[in-house]
């Protein structure tokens, strides 16, 4: 299948990048790359004025963010799904879904669907899955067509199990991001015009802090960020925010172990 092949490509790329660069030509390329990154650290905004690229120095852009959620709301029990409509019998894992407010002032909230592993969930890592787009629903695509525990049957009403579901080996959060995608929304309509990578990453970070208060047993659990397509931006950017907070505060908001992205 294409997706499998793509994953190999990504892995291969990582392996190639891991090979030590020794030749003079390669060193020149490294210098060129540094020059390029430097040139990108100042970008032109739409009105023509230069503005600082937030990713050029993540520690100063994001390091000051809180390391825990100061005002947690909602509860795991309130988010528990007894059964999805049309789900097959003998579902042997827990499912949850709900909203996390990521900006109180604007009334901006992100929707998630969370499935635990049927097999010893307490010993399995936590994976945050992000579809790309921008604008692709992680519930409609990621959960129901790709790696979730169920697939929708042709009748459009009932579900069947997906044998290759990722929750066989992990506890998976499907996050609809940014606000405006899927069930995620904002009560301040102008938010939809001002979406961007930096705010998306900060919202997802706030989501995580808040979510971990609702599911405290996952604090300190090995954590991975995964996604496809435009999530090739979202995943490393959210990781950069987490690492920036860690570097700035010396505290570890999550136990981030890695990211994986596929095309
Ligand atoms: C958005 O507005 C509705 C209607 O007033 C309210 O019920 C909801 O809680 C608000 N959402 C957020 C995230 O504040």
Last-in-domain residue among 10, 37, 56: 56
Give CA–CA dist 199/137, Å, rounded.
Answer: 18
| Distance of CA 107 from the midpoint of ligand 1 (Å) | 6
Query: Which residue's entry shows tokens 């793509």?
Result: 6
- State which of 187, 189, 207 you would mutate to test the pocket of ligand 1, scoring each by most atoms of that ligand within 8 A of its C-beta: 187
12 and 42 within one domain:
yes
Instruction: Say which DSSP state 254 is in.
Output: S
Residue 64's Cα: distance from chain center in Å?
20
- What's residue 52's pLDDT? 78
**78 with 45, same domain?**
no
Do 30 and 135 lie in one domain? The reply is no
pLDDT computed for residue 1 by the predictor: 38
Range of the domain at 200: 61-262
> What pLDDT tens digit does each residue of the chain (263 aa) get?
344 444 444 444 444 444 444 455 556 666 766 666 565 555 555 555 556 799 999 999 999 999 999 889 999 999 999 999 999 999 999 999 999 999 999 999 999 999 999 999 999 999 999 999 999 999 999 999 999 999 999 999 999 999 999 999 999 999 999 999 999 999 999 999 988 999 999 999 999 999 999 999 999 999 999 999 999 999 999 999 999 999 999 999 899 999 999 98
Q: 16, 33, 56: which is the final residue of a domain? A: 56
Residue with the nearest Cα to atom 1 of ligand 1?
187
CB atoms within 10 A of CB 69: 18
Question: Do 47 and 106 share a domain, yes or no?
Answer: no
Residue 154 and residue 50 share a domain? no
Residues 148 and 254 occupy one common structural domain: yes
Residue 106 Cα: closest atom of ligand 1: 14
pLDDT at 22: 45
Distance (Å) of CA 10 to CA 31, 138, 202: 24, 21, 26
Three-state DSSP class for 194? helix
Tokens of 246: 């860690």
Q: How many domains does the chain divide into?
A: 2
Are 33 and 80 within one domain? no
- Are residues 87 and 25 located together in one domain of the fold? no
Q: What is the DSSP string of 55-75?
A: TTSHHHHHTTS-SS-SS--S-
Q: Are 139 and 111 in contact (CB under 8 A)?
A: yes
The residue nearest atom 3 of ligand 1, judged by CA position, is 187
Check residue 37 and give its pLDDT: 59
Residues 51 and 78 in one domain: no
Torsion angles phi and psi, residue 12, rounded to 5:
-60, -40
Cα 219 to averaged position of ligand 1 atoms, centre (Å): 28
Q: How many residues does the chain have?
A: 263
Q: Are residues 206 and 255 in the same domain?
A: yes
Please tell me the distance between residue 57's alpha carbon and the centre of ligand 1 in angstroms.
Answer: 34
Helix (H, G, I), strand (E, B) or coil at 24: helix
Radius of gyration of the chain (CA): 20
Q: What is the CATH number of the domain that holds 109?
A: 3.40.50.1820
- Cα of 185 from ligand 1 centre, angstroms: 9
* Contact residues of ligand 1, CB 6 A cut-off: 101, 107, 109, 187
Indicate whether 65 and 107 sit together in one domain.
yes
Query: Which single residue is written with the structure tokens 């430097």?
Result: 38
Using an 8 Å Cβ cutoff, are 84 and 74 in contact?
A: no
pTM comes to 0.82
Q: Tell me: do 222 and 116 sit in the same domain.
A: yes
Report the distance separating Cα 65 and Cα 198, nearest Å.
13
CA distance 263 to 259: 14
Give the Å distance between the CA of 104 and the centre of ligand 1.
9
Residue with CA at minimum distance from ligand 1 atom 5 = 187
């Amino acid at each position: 299948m294409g997706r499998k092949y793509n994953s190999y490509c990504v892995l291969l790329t990582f392996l190639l990048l891991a090979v030590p660069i020794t030749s003079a030509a390669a060193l020149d390329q490294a210098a060129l790359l540094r020059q390029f990154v430097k040139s990108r650290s100042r970008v032109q905004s739409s009105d023509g004025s230069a503005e600082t690229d937030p990713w050029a120095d993540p520690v100063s852009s994001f390091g000051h963010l809180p390391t825990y959620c100061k005002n947690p709301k909602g509860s795991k029990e309130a988010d528990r799904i007894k059964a999805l409509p049309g789900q097959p019998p003998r579902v042997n894992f827990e499912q949850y879904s709900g909203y996390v407010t990521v900006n109180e002032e604007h009334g901006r909230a992100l929707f998630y669907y969370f499935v635990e592993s049927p097999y010893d969930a307490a010993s399995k890592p936590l994976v945050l899955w992000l579809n790309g787009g921008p604008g692709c629903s992680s519930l409609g695509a990621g959960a129901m067509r790709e790696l979730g525990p169920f697939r929708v049957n042709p009748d459009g009403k009932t579900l069947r199990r997906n044998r290759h579901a990722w929750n066989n080996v992990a506890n998976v959060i499907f996050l609809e991001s940014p606000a405006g995608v899927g069930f995620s929304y904002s009560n301040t309509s102008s938010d939809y015009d001002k979406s961007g990578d930096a705010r998306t990453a900060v919202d997802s970070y706030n989501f995580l802090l808040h979510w971990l208060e609702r599911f405290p047993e996952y604090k300190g659990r090995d954590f991975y960020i995964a996604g496809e397509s435009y999530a090739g931006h979202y995943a490393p950017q959210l990781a950069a925010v987490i690492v920036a907070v860690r570097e700035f505060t010396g505290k570890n908001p999550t136990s981030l172990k890695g990211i994986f992205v596929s095309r």
